Amino acid sequence: MDTLNVAIYGASGYTGAELIRLLTLHPAVRITALSAESNAGRPMADVFPQFSALDLPMLQTLKELDLDPIDVLFCALPHGTTQTALKAALEAKPSLKVVDLSADFRLADPKDYAAWYGHKHLAPELQSEAVYGLVEVHRAAIAKARLTGNPGCYTTTVLLALVPLVAAQAIDVERIVIDAKSGMTGAGRAAKMGMLFSEVSEGFHAYSVGKHRHTAELDQELSIAAGRPVTPTFTPHLVPMNRGIYATIYADGDPMRLHTILADTYAEEPFVTVLPFGEVPQSRHVRGSNFTRIGVVPDRRAGKTIVISTLDNLVKGASGQAVQNMNVMCALPETTGLQQLALFP
């Protein structure tokens, strides 16, 4: 394969570091440029010392970063700045392939975007061009896309479990309850009191109950799958662990049928494992890998099913899925650079 020159916007956050961890072992990629505003001028190893043995490009400001040689751009900037940064990038070099890890290009409807994010989208043409980068669902469209909006970590976890069931009309879409749990890296690397070790270890709590922004993505994709509006109940929680999303989904539908649909859907998918009927997945068994594990368990009451889905929020829920998107967009074998197994224990 030819070598792709890759740049990362926003390399000093957790998803940026995770991209570097994965791309360093990707045989078709050269990491050519890295941006990080406040750390510009410093080596990547200053912000993530585990990379000190690698030969990586120096961190630059967005403005300094030369897109000329770049084939693929991963954008791990915060929500908001992303819109203008990518608009500028694609105007400067229209032939770029871009995978955006922010939330800016996930919602197709400008009204949805404005409603959930509180302001008008600043790059509406790109928004309508962008493809929702959930590979297992939108693979064909992604293969032709110039810009993909990499799905949120909660959303990926839930959609991989629910889209096939909703599409098959196998569950009551009025009755979906999603109780989701996330590790702490989902909150990013910004210094916030609420994320200090002593504030979040040795305890558990829900947050953003009834109003988490990933809800908008859930609504969009489930509604597409269902062919009508779906607005599930969704409650996120924080778990004192670093990595992992764990979604316990309560659905009205026949357990055996749901299991069959999921097992059939994912029989050939390299990154989704449907467990034998009745078995329960654990988040630790996907840690550090691009895998999603899904279990289907019957409730004691007939016609009720618990569907459980888990993945690593920094891999399949962010940077791993981003690499998977790149592979599809660049016609590389989809699993290239993504074969690392879970680190357990």
Q: Which of residues 111-170 bind a second copy (CB under 8 A)?
A: none
Interface residues for a second copy in 38-57 (CB under 8 A)?
48-54
Least distance from C-beta 232 to a second copy, angstroms?
9
Beta bridge partners of 297: 306
Q: What is the DSSP letter of 203?
A: -
Site string for a second copy, 84-113 (x = CB under 8 A): ------------------------------
| Interacting residue with a second copy among 177, 224, 226, 330 (CB under 8 A) | 177
Cβ closer to a second copy: 90 or 338? 338
Specify the residue, 181 or 259, whose C-beta has the smaller distance to a second copy.
181
Query: What is the token pair recorded at 145?
Result: 């896309």
Closest CB 248 distance from a second copy, rounded Å: 6
Q: 278 to 307, contacts with a second copy by CB under 8 A?
A: 280-289, 291, 293, 297-301, 304, 306
Smallest separation, CB 180 to a second copy (Å): 10
Catalytic, 75? Answer no
CA atoms within 13 A on the CB side of 125: 7
Stretch that binds a second copy, among 64-72, 142-150, 157-165, 335-343 (CB under 8 A): 335-343
Q: Are β-strands 304-311 and 292-298 bridged in parallel, bridged antiparallel, or unpaired?
A: antiparallel
The pattern of x and - marking residues 249 through 278 that bind a second copy according to CB under 8 A reads -x-------------------x--x-x---
Kindly identify the residues of this chain, within the stretch 204-233, that bind a second copy according to CB under 8 A.
204-207, 209-211, 215, 231, 233
Residue 335 binding a second copy, by CB under 8 A: no
Distances (CA, A) of 230 to 128, 142, 223: 21, 24, 5
Under a CB-based contact definition with an 8 Å cutoff, are residues 6 and 30 in contact? yes
Spatial CB neighbours of 215, under 8 Å, sequence gap ≥ 6: 116, 234
Q: Which stretch binds a second copy (CB under 8 A): 16-24, 85-93, 162-170, 257-265?
A: 16-24
Number of residues that bind a second copy (CB under 8 A): 86
- Shortest CB 183 distance to a second copy, Å: 8
Q: How far apart are CA 217 and CA 179, in angstroms?
A: 16
Q: How far is CA 25 from CA 49, 135, 250, in A?
A: 18, 21, 39
Count of CA atoms in the C-beta half-sphere (13 A) of 278: 1
CB of 97 to a second copy, least distance (A): 24
Of the residues 86, 153, 166, 170, which is catalytic? 153
Q: Which amino acid is at 78?
A: P
Give the integer Cα–Cα distance in Å for 239 and 287: 14
Residue 313 carries which DSSP code?
A: T
CB atoms within 10 A of CB 19: 30
Catalytic residues: 153
